[in-house]
Amino acid sequence: MTKNFEAVIAGAGLIGGAIALELARAGVRVAVFDQGEPGREASWAGAGILSPAPESPATIPLVPLGKASMALYPELVARVEEISGQDVGFRAKGTLEGLFSRDAARELSTHVALHHGWGLTAEALSAQDARELEPALSPDVEAAVLRPDEASVDNRALTQAVLDAARKSGVQIFAHREAQGIWREKQHCAGLLLENEKVSAKWTIIAAGSFSSGIAGVNTYAPVRPAKGQMVCLRCERVKIERVLWSDKIYLVPRNDGRILAGATVEYAGFDKKVTAGALEKLLGSAIALAPDLAHASVEETWAGLRPDSPDHLPILGPADIDGLLIATGHFRSGILLAPITARLIREWVIEQRVSVDWERFSPLRFLEARKETTA
């Protein structure tokens, strides 16, 4: 017997869960299928930094989407905490980037000018002012950039709360039920193909992160590959950090319970999630260089996760050229940040067939175009 829903989602991470919650609140009957334990892949492994600032020139087109998502965050947090009854560790305290170079003054003005050019708030700080805000900072920091509008969230807590809120809003979530392919009938997507079962739906949404490209029929639209990130969690009574701290080599993310996360590497190693000695050495060395008292920290946990990276490092969002198929993957290092706007845009498309933020730049069809050009 075929299960029938109005919308089915492949992938029960933060993105899939947030989409399911939005759709359920709009009255849509939704089911989510995950190949493993819901919320235990990239959403569990991230650091939860909420920063719309681009990490490289390639991700500059993402800034407007990041800003739109950032604006939705307080509303998402309030709604999810209310429905789930769980705290998600949202910290709207800004972030601080320490500059170590002798040329810090010039670097500082460039940093600030670039952020202002992107429409983002950034303030130049002297080393002294920076250490007044964050006494844990190294005496070798020459200057700093304060980005007061940025934030962080406990992504593990948020993901579980979103999935719980979705369930309480009527979403059915199926663990260990891998979507193996899309159910295609000519130019129409009729649902998902599971191992021994078809699930029919008017709308099929692919939000399976790095695993999206392994779903038969999806790779053309979502040619994502896993980008491994290794992390270490520290605890140190003598180190108090209020904001996310950055250097050009590391970020440190404080949690409400006193833990400090240090990350993260980017490696292309397939689906390998081993933590390596070399990466730990790099992470710990860079963390101690930024906040020297972390030399006394205990190591509470180490892990690695797999972020979904697209060929141009930008998300893959929107309708495919098969009726009823929507893609929401390829968020790379911005999945936690972009969850609210991704969920809203998918809900708008499903309910109204229009979106409030232009997502053309992120269309899944861009890879088809590129393929046509290379074969022409």
> pLDDT value at position 370?
66
CB-based contact 109:126 (threshold 8 Å): no
Same domain flag for 51 and 106:
no
Same domain flag for 159 and 304:
no
Distance CA 261, CA 288 (A): 12
Residue 28 lies in a domain: yes
Same domain flag for 282 and 320:
no
Same domain flag for 267 and 302:
yes
Residue 25 lies in a domain: yes
Same domain flag for 144 and 175:
no
Residue 69 lies in a domain: yes
Distance CA 179, CA 191 (A): 10
Same domain flag for 234 and 364:
no
Residue 44 lies in a domain: yes
- We report the CATH number of the domain holding residue 124 as 3.30.9.10
Return the DSSP state at 211.
Answer: G
Looking at 309, 339, 361, the residue that finishes a domain is 309
User: What distances in angstroms separate CA 348 from CA 178, 288, 330, one per listed residue?
Assistant: 27, 45, 20
Same domain flag for 107 and 142:
yes
Same domain flag for 270 and 138:
yes
Residue 90 lies in a domain: no
pLDDT tens, the chain, 376 aa long: 678 999 999 999 999 999 999 999 999 999 999 999 999 999 999 999 999 999 889 899 999 999 999 999 999 999 999 999 999 999 999 999 999 987 788 889 998 999 999 999 999 999 999 999 999 999 999 999 999 999 999 999 999 999 999 999 999 999 999 999 999 999 999 999 999 999 999 999 999 999 999 999 999 999 999 999 999 999 999 999 999 999 999 999 999 999 999 997 899 999 999 999 999 999 999 999 999 999 999 999 999 999 999 999 999 999 999 999 999 999 999 999 999 999 999 999 999 999 999 999 999 999 987 666 665 5
Q: DSSP E strands: which ranges in the chain?
A: 3-10, 30-33, 49-50, 95-99, 123-126, 143-147, 151-152, 172-174, 181-185, 188-193, 198-206, 225-235, 244-246, 251-254, 259-263, 298-309, 316-319, 325-329
Same domain flag for 273 and 337:
no
Write down the residue that tokens 């990041």 correspond to.
Answer: 66
Looking at 271, 293, 309, the residue that finishes a domain is 309
Domain region containing 130: 95-151+226-309
Closest CA to 118 of 50, 49, 65: 65
User: Across the strands, what pairs with 269?
Assistant: 271
Same domain flag for 251 and 219:
no
> pLDDT value at position 373?
61
- We report the CATH number of the domain holding residue 194 as 3.50.50.60
What is the count of structural domains for the chain?
2
Residue 260 lies in a domain: yes
Same domain flag for 73 and 187:
yes
Same domain flag for 241 and 141:
yes
CB-based contact 207:9 (threshold 8 Å): yes
Distance CA 108, CA 331 (A): 28
Alpha-carbon torsion (183, 186, 189, 190), positive or negative: negative
- Judge if pTM exceeds 0.85: yes
User: Across the strands, what pairs with 15?
Assistant: none
Looking at 286, 309, 332, the residue that finishes a domain is 309
Residue 92 dihedral angles phi and psi, to the nearest 5°: -95, 65
